[in-house]
Structure 1
Amino acid sequence: MPHVISPSEQCGPPLSCASAAYDGRPGTIAAARDFAAGFLAETQAAGGAAVTAQTVGVVRLVVSELVTNALKHAPGPCWLDLDITGDTLRITAWDTGSALPAVLPHDAGRVGQHGLEIVVALCRRLEIEQQAVGKRIRAYVAL
Protein backbone atom coordinates (compact mmCIF):
# COMPACT_ATOMS: atom_id res chain seq x y z
CA MET A 1 0.00 0.00 0.00
CA PRO A 2 2.44 2.77 0.99
CA HIS A 3 5.68 3.30 -0.76
CA VAL A 4 8.04 3.27 2.21
CA ILE A 5 11.22 5.20 1.71
CA SER A 6 14.10 3.64 3.58
CA PRO A 7 15.60 5.66 6.38
CA SER A 8 18.49 7.69 5.06
CA GLU A 9 22.00 7.37 6.35
CA GLN A 10 21.83 10.95 7.59
CA CYS A 11 19.36 9.82 10.26
CA GLY A 12 22.12 7.91 11.97
CA PRO A 13 21.77 5.08 14.44
CA PRO A 14 19.52 4.29 16.07
CA LEU A 15 16.81 4.60 13.46
CA SER A 16 15.45 8.11 13.91
CA CYS A 17 13.60 8.99 10.71
CA ALA A 18 11.47 7.36 8.05
CA SER A 19 9.14 8.41 5.25
CA ALA A 20 6.23 6.92 3.35
CA ALA A 21 4.15 8.06 0.38
CA TYR A 22 0.46 7.27 0.03
CA ASP A 23 -1.82 7.40 -2.98
CA GLY A 24 -5.15 7.50 -1.14
CA ARG A 25 -6.35 3.99 -1.87
CA PRO A 26 -8.69 2.35 0.66
CA GLY A 27 -6.73 1.38 3.75
CA THR A 28 -4.31 4.31 3.50
CA ILE A 29 -5.16 5.76 6.91
CA ALA A 30 -4.74 2.42 8.68
CA ALA A 31 -1.48 1.83 6.79
CA ALA A 32 -0.17 5.23 7.91
CA ARG A 33 -1.07 4.51 11.56
CA ASP A 34 0.66 1.13 11.34
CA PHE A 35 3.69 2.70 9.67
CA ALA A 36 4.06 5.17 12.56
CA ALA A 37 3.60 2.49 15.24
CA GLY A 38 6.10 0.24 13.47
CA PHE A 39 8.60 3.07 13.23
CA LEU A 40 8.36 3.67 16.98
CA ALA A 41 8.74 -0.05 17.73
CA GLU A 42 11.79 -0.33 15.46
CA THR A 43 13.34 2.79 16.96
CA GLN A 44 12.89 1.48 20.48
CA ALA A 45 14.23 -1.97 19.55
CA ALA A 46 17.32 -0.34 18.02
CA GLY A 47 18.08 1.36 21.33
CA GLY A 48 16.37 4.65 20.59
CA ALA A 49 13.78 6.49 22.60
CA ALA A 50 11.68 4.53 25.08
CA VAL A 51 8.05 4.71 23.99
CA THR A 52 5.02 3.88 26.12
CA ALA A 53 1.85 2.24 24.80
CA GLN A 54 0.03 5.49 25.55
CA THR A 55 2.47 7.45 23.38
CA VAL A 56 2.03 4.97 20.53
CA GLY A 57 -1.73 5.49 20.83
CA VAL A 58 -1.30 9.27 20.69
CA VAL A 59 0.96 9.02 17.65
CA ARG A 60 -1.46 6.69 15.86
CA LEU A 61 -4.31 9.15 16.50
CA VAL A 62 -2.32 12.19 15.36
CA VAL A 63 -1.16 10.41 12.19
CA SER A 64 -4.72 9.28 11.52
CA GLU A 65 -6.07 12.84 11.80
CA LEU A 66 -3.34 14.37 9.63
CA VAL A 67 -3.57 11.74 6.88
CA THR A 68 -7.37 11.83 6.94
CA ASN A 69 -7.27 15.59 6.39
CA ALA A 70 -4.75 15.23 3.57
CA LEU A 71 -6.87 12.64 1.78
CA LYS A 72 -10.12 14.52 2.35
CA HIS A 73 -8.99 18.01 1.36
CA ALA A 74 -6.21 17.56 -1.22
CA PRO A 75 -6.06 16.05 -4.66
CA GLY A 76 -3.19 13.71 -5.30
CA PRO A 77 -0.78 11.87 -3.06
CA CYS A 78 0.33 12.60 0.47
CA TRP A 79 3.60 11.96 2.23
CA LEU A 80 4.38 11.23 5.84
CA ASP A 81 7.75 11.94 7.44
CA LEU A 82 8.63 10.84 10.96
CA ASP A 83 11.74 11.92 12.79
CA ILE A 84 12.92 11.86 16.36
CA THR A 85 15.09 14.50 17.98
CA GLY A 86 15.75 14.02 21.66
CA ASP A 87 12.44 13.35 23.39
CA THR A 88 10.23 14.57 20.54
CA LEU A 89 8.72 12.88 17.51
CA ARG A 90 8.04 15.25 14.63
CA ILE A 91 5.23 14.05 12.37
CA THR A 92 5.11 15.85 9.03
CA ALA A 93 2.23 15.39 6.61
CA TRP A 94 2.62 16.87 3.12
CA ASP A 95 -0.18 17.10 0.56
CA THR A 96 -1.03 18.86 -2.69
CA GLY A 97 -3.97 20.92 -1.42
CA SER A 98 -3.53 24.68 -1.48
CA ALA A 99 -6.07 25.55 1.23
CA LEU A 100 -4.60 25.84 4.71
CA PRO A 101 -6.66 24.20 7.46
CA ALA A 102 -7.86 26.19 10.42
CA VAL A 103 -7.82 24.98 13.99
CA LEU A 104 -11.36 25.70 15.09
CA PRO A 105 -12.13 26.74 18.67
CA HIS A 106 -13.60 24.13 20.95
CA ASP A 107 -17.33 23.65 20.35
CA ALA A 108 -18.88 20.59 21.96
CA GLY A 109 -22.03 21.12 19.86
CA ARG A 110 -20.19 21.02 16.53
CA VAL A 111 -20.51 17.78 14.60
CA GLY A 112 -17.21 16.93 12.94
CA GLN A 113 -14.20 19.11 12.17
CA HIS A 114 -12.50 18.32 15.48
CA GLY A 115 -9.39 16.71 13.93
CA LEU A 116 -6.90 19.53 14.32
CA GLU A 117 -8.43 20.45 17.68
CA ILE A 118 -7.54 16.92 18.83
CA VAL A 119 -4.04 17.18 17.34
CA VAL A 120 -3.40 20.50 19.13
CA ALA A 121 -4.57 18.99 22.43
CA LEU A 122 -2.22 16.01 22.10
CA CYS A 123 0.90 17.69 20.74
CA ARG A 124 3.55 20.05 22.02
CA ARG A 125 3.25 22.19 18.91
CA LEU A 126 1.51 22.32 15.52
CA GLU A 127 2.85 24.16 12.47
CA ILE A 128 0.93 24.70 9.23
CA GLU A 129 2.89 26.04 6.26
CA GLN A 130 2.01 26.82 2.66
CA GLN A 131 4.44 25.26 0.18
CA ALA A 132 5.11 26.01 -3.49
CA VAL A 133 2.79 23.10 -4.21
CA GLY A 134 0.42 22.19 -1.41
CA LYS A 135 1.06 22.43 2.30
CA ARG A 136 3.06 20.92 5.13
CA ILE A 137 1.66 20.25 8.59
CA ARG A 138 4.01 19.36 11.42
CA ALA A 139 2.94 18.01 14.78
CA TYR A 140 5.41 17.51 17.63
CA VAL A 141 4.66 14.70 20.09
CA ALA A 142 6.50 14.18 23.39
CA LEU A 143 8.02 10.71 23.72
Structure 2
Amino acid sequence: MAASYLFNGMERIADARRAALSFLDEARVLHGLVVSARAAEVVELIVSELITNARKYAPGPHRLALEVTDGAVEVSVWDSNPTPPALLPPDPFRIGQHGLEIVIAAAKSFQISHDPTGKRITASVLLADDDY
Protein backbone atom coordinates (compact mmCIF):
# COMPACT_ATOMS: atom_id res chain seq x y z
CA MET A 1 0.00 0.00 0.00
CA ALA A 2 1.52 3.31 -1.08
CA ALA A 3 0.56 6.92 -1.77
CA SER A 4 2.41 9.95 -3.06
CA TYR A 5 1.54 13.63 -2.79
CA LEU A 6 3.23 16.48 -4.69
CA PHE A 7 3.41 19.86 -2.99
CA ASN A 8 4.41 22.97 -4.89
CA GLY A 9 5.00 25.12 -1.83
CA MET A 10 1.59 26.74 -1.80
CA GLU A 11 -0.07 24.10 0.36
CA ARG A 12 -0.09 24.36 4.11
CA ILE A 13 1.92 21.93 6.21
CA ALA A 14 -1.40 20.93 7.76
CA ASP A 15 -2.43 19.58 4.34
CA ALA A 16 0.49 17.13 4.43
CA ARG A 17 -0.41 16.04 7.97
CA ARG A 18 -4.02 15.49 6.91
CA ALA A 19 -2.88 13.45 3.90
CA ALA A 20 -0.77 11.23 6.17
CA LEU A 21 -3.60 10.67 8.64
CA SER A 22 -5.99 9.90 5.78
CA PHE A 23 -3.48 7.35 4.46
CA LEU A 24 -3.31 5.68 7.89
CA ASP A 25 -7.12 5.67 8.16
CA GLU A 26 -7.28 3.93 4.78
CA ALA A 27 -4.71 1.38 6.00
CA ARG A 28 -6.98 0.64 8.97
CA VAL A 29 -10.36 0.65 7.29
CA LEU A 30 -9.68 -0.69 3.81
CA HIS A 31 -6.73 -2.96 4.49
CA GLY A 32 -7.44 -4.06 8.07
CA LEU A 33 -4.02 -3.03 9.37
CA VAL A 34 -3.49 -2.25 13.03
CA VAL A 35 -2.30 1.33 13.43
CA SER A 36 -1.63 2.36 17.03
CA ALA A 37 -2.55 5.83 18.23
CA ARG A 38 1.12 6.45 18.96
CA ALA A 39 2.10 5.43 15.41
CA ALA A 40 -0.41 7.90 13.96
CA GLU A 41 0.91 10.69 16.20
CA VAL A 42 4.55 9.92 15.32
CA VAL A 43 3.80 9.77 11.58
CA GLU A 44 1.98 13.10 11.79
CA LEU A 45 4.93 14.64 13.67
CA ILE A 46 7.52 13.29 11.22
CA VAL A 47 5.52 14.49 8.21
CA SER A 48 5.21 17.92 9.79
CA GLU A 49 8.94 18.20 10.54
CA LEU A 50 10.14 16.89 7.16
CA ILE A 51 7.71 18.96 5.09
CA THR A 52 8.57 22.06 7.14
CA ASN A 53 12.27 21.51 6.40
CA ALA A 54 11.61 20.92 2.70
CA ARG A 55 9.61 24.15 2.47
CA LYS A 56 12.19 26.09 4.44
CA TYR A 57 15.41 24.90 2.82
CA ALA A 58 14.62 23.67 -0.71
CA PRO A 59 13.52 25.69 -3.70
CA GLY A 60 10.73 24.29 -5.79
CA PRO A 61 8.35 21.42 -5.25
CA HIS A 62 8.63 18.62 -2.75
CA ARG A 63 6.96 15.23 -2.58
CA LEU A 64 5.58 13.26 0.34
CA ALA A 65 5.44 9.51 -0.15
CA LEU A 66 3.92 7.04 2.31
CA GLU A 67 4.25 3.29 2.04
CA VAL A 68 3.30 0.45 4.33
CA THR A 69 5.88 -2.31 4.31
CA ASP A 70 6.80 -5.02 6.82
CA GLY A 71 4.51 -3.71 9.58
CA ALA A 72 5.78 -0.15 9.32
CA VAL A 73 4.93 3.01 7.43
CA GLU A 74 7.78 4.65 5.57
CA VAL A 75 7.49 8.42 5.40
CA SER A 76 9.64 9.86 2.61
CA VAL A 77 10.01 13.47 1.66
CA TRP A 78 11.86 14.36 -1.52
CA ASP A 79 13.01 17.90 -2.21
CA SER A 80 15.16 19.61 -4.83
CA ASN A 81 18.02 20.63 -2.50
CA PRO A 82 20.84 18.06 -2.77
CA THR A 83 22.49 19.26 0.44
CA PRO A 84 21.81 16.88 3.32
CA PRO A 85 20.37 18.39 6.47
CA ALA A 86 22.80 19.13 9.26
CA LEU A 87 22.28 17.45 12.60
CA LEU A 88 23.39 20.07 15.08
CA PRO A 89 25.07 19.11 18.34
CA PRO A 90 22.78 19.02 21.38
CA ASP A 91 22.24 22.47 22.85
CA PRO A 92 19.52 22.91 25.48
CA PHE A 93 19.66 26.68 24.97
CA ARG A 94 19.13 26.62 21.19
CA ILE A 95 15.70 27.84 20.17
CA GLY A 96 14.41 25.86 17.20
CA GLN A 97 16.25 23.69 14.69
CA HIS A 98 15.50 20.49 16.61
CA GLY A 99 13.27 18.94 13.92
CA LEU A 100 15.80 16.44 12.62
CA GLU A 101 16.67 15.36 16.17
CA ILE A 102 12.98 14.77 16.82
CA VAL A 103 12.52 12.74 13.64
CA ILE A 104 15.56 10.53 14.33
CA ALA A 105 14.50 9.96 17.95
CA ALA A 106 10.89 9.10 17.03
CA ALA A 107 11.55 6.87 14.03
CA LYS A 108 12.41 3.18 13.96
CA SER A 109 14.88 3.96 11.15
CA PHE A 110 16.10 7.04 9.33
CA GLN A 111 18.05 7.53 6.12
CA ILE A 112 19.03 10.17 3.61
CA SER A 113 19.50 9.26 -0.04
CA HIS A 114 20.62 11.42 -2.92
CA ASP A 115 19.28 11.44 -6.44
CA PRO A 116 20.18 13.52 -9.52
CA THR A 117 17.60 16.18 -8.69
CA GLY A 118 17.80 16.47 -4.91
CA LYS A 119 17.50 14.22 -1.87
CA ARG A 120 15.03 11.94 -0.16
CA ILE A 121 14.70 11.65 3.61
CA THR A 122 12.94 8.52 4.82
CA ALA A 123 11.83 7.67 8.34
CA SER A 124 10.09 4.43 9.27
CA VAL A 125 7.50 4.05 12.03
CA LEU A 126 6.12 0.73 13.29
CA LEU A 127 2.34 0.58 12.86
CA ALA A 128 1.72 -1.40 16.05
CA ASP A 129 4.52 0.24 17.98
CA ASP A 130 3.56 -0.27 21.59
CA ASP A 131 6.98 -1.84 22.12
CA TYR A 132 8.95 1.36 21.37
- State whether TM-score is above 0.5: yes
**What SS does structure 1 have at the residue aligned with 2:85?**
coil
1:130 aligns with 2:103: no
Aligned residue number for residue 88 of structure 1: 72
**What SS does structure 2 have at the residue aligned with 1:19?**
strand
**What SS does structure 1 have at the residue aligned with 2:78?**
strand
Contact 1:124 1:139 (8 Å CA) reproduced: yes
**What SS does structure 1 have at the residue aligned with 2:55?**
helix
Root-mean-square deviation (Å): 1.1
**What SS does structure 2 have at the residue aligned with 1:103?**
coil
**What SS does structure 2 have at the residue aligned with 1:109?**
coil
Which amino acid is the alignment partner of residue 80 of structure 1? L
Distance (Å, rounded) in 2 between the aligned partners of 1:113 and 1:89? 25
Which amino acid is the alignment partner of residue 75 of structure 1? P
1:75 aligns with 2:59: yes
1:38 aligns with 2:18: no
Q: How many residues align?
A: 127
The aligned runs of 1:45-124 (5 Å cut-off) are: 45-124=29-108
Distance (Å, rounded) in 2 between the aligned partners of 1:106 and 1:87? 31
Tell me how far 1:26 sits from its aligned partner.
4.7
Distance (Å, rounded) in 1 between the aligned partners of 2:32 and 2:87? 32
Gapped regions of structure 2 (runs ≥ 5): 128-132
Distance (Å, rounded) in 1 between the aligned partners of 2:98 and 2:39? 20
Aligned residue number for residue 130 of structure 2: none
Question: Identity of paired residues, percent?
Answer: 45
1:42-82 C-alpha deviation (Å, 9 max, x unpaired): 11101332112221111100000000000000000000110
Distance (Å, rounded) in 1 between the aligned partners of 2:66 and 2:107? 14
Distance (Å, rounded) in 2 between the aligned partners of 1:26 and 1:32? 8
Aligned residue number for residue 13 of structure 1: none
